[in-house]
Amino acid sequence: MAMKPLRVLALIHEELMPPDDASGQDLMTVDWKTEYDVVSTLRSMGHEVHKLGIADELRTVRAAADEFRPHIVFNLLEFFHNVPVFDQNIVAYIELLRLAYTGCCSRGLLLARDKGLSKQLMAYHRIPIPDFAIFRRGRTAHRPRRLAFPLIVKSLVNEGSIGISQASIVDSDAKLAERVRFIHETSGTDAIVERYIDGREFYVGIIGNERLQVFPVWELLFTKMPEDVWHIATDRVKWSQKYQEKHGIKTDAAELPAETALQVQRLCKRVYRALGLNGYARIDLRMDDAGKVYVIEANPNPQLAFGEDFAESAERVGLSYSALLQRILNLGQQWRPDRSAPAE
């Protein structure tokens, strides 16, 4: 059965607007790789794509929707007004316009973006998470006794390892107070502090609304990283190609016993449903030396570039990049924002 061409309105951060022709560009280093991969692949599949750059104005979305009359909006936005948690408001606006859209609904984004709220929900559902505490801006960091060192300090809402470095892991109250203050001052957000799980780091991609498909467990590998540094996904680990090459940092399918991999995948489905996610998401986990797995966070609308973890793990189960994007489009067309939350 032939695929029906769609009119797709792609919402893109204004500074990440990709060119129509990327000849002569090194796609591995450009900031707009995801945007280019998605738009160019959709067009090669026969879809009509209208790119709309978004800065801090919503009226352009409505105007483009009225003029272009899209079948669906492909949402590639991660923040609005440079505020990460405002991405949920953009999606809510799209919902109010009664437009079909790709990715997670506004409710799921609200629950997952706030790491403290999402952890409280996961704890309620008996999903294993590290002990944690939240330190609000303007307040001194006083460690609860239940929080044992080492601890990792992060922004409560920022994504993509922003603000995470080797100094994020602390082993004393003085260093804890210093790092919490650093997060407050540099990110302008509250801080979340959680027990650091020393061990292996896993990522699991999931796609679906009610019926879910879970991709293979993926692992972050540090093949040449010195033993005397923390093996964590810092800002440089995630985004510096030079740093990745120097320290042999890569991701690949995790080598796990089949039963363990299945348990991890089932756990991730529970997280997806507990947080009311839909469309597609990536769940981040860590496994300690005793083999216990902890959920670190859920990332709705994860990185979609060709060759990145999510697309690579989809490829491993026979879902090509174009087939993955088509599945995301199909799920967006099927989703109804006014329906009740998915059942547990």
Share of the chain above pLDDT 70, in %: 94
Which domains, from first to last, does the chain contain?
A: 7-101 (no CATH), 131-195 (3.30.1490), 198-334 (3.30.470.20)
The mean of the pLDDT values for the chain is 91
Confidence of residue 230 (pLDDT cuts 50, 70, 90): confident
Where does the pLDDT of residue 239 fall: very low under 50, low under 70, confident under 90, or very high at 90 and above? low
- What average pLDDT does the segment 43-59 reach? 94
Q: Residue 119 above 50 pLDDT?
A: yes
The answer to whether the CB of 50 falls within 8 A of the CB of 10 is: yes
Q: What is the pLDDT of residue 337?
A: 80
pLDDT of residue 1: 39
What integer pLDDT is reported at residue 299 of this predicted model?
95
Q: What is the pLDDT of residue 339?
A: 64
More confident residue, 74 or 78: 74
Q: Are 169 and 232 in contact, with CB atoms under 8 Å apart?
A: yes
Average pLDDT over residues 302-329: 97
Range in 15-24, 180-189, 227-236 with the lowest mean pLDDT: 227-236
pLDDT at residue 280 is higher than 70: yes
Better pLDDT: 305 or 84: 305
243 vs 232: which has the higher pLDDT = 232
Greater confidence (100 vs 223) lies with 100
130-168 pLDDT tens trace:
999 999 998 888 899 999 999 999 999 887 566 688 889
Distance, CA of 125 to CA of 130 (rounded, Å): 14
More confident residue, 216 or 344: 216
**Of all residues in the chain, what percent carry a pLDDT higher than 90?**
74
pLDDT for the residue 344: 44
Q: 10 Å Cβ neighbour count for 342?
A: 17
Q: What is the pTM of this model?
A: 0.92
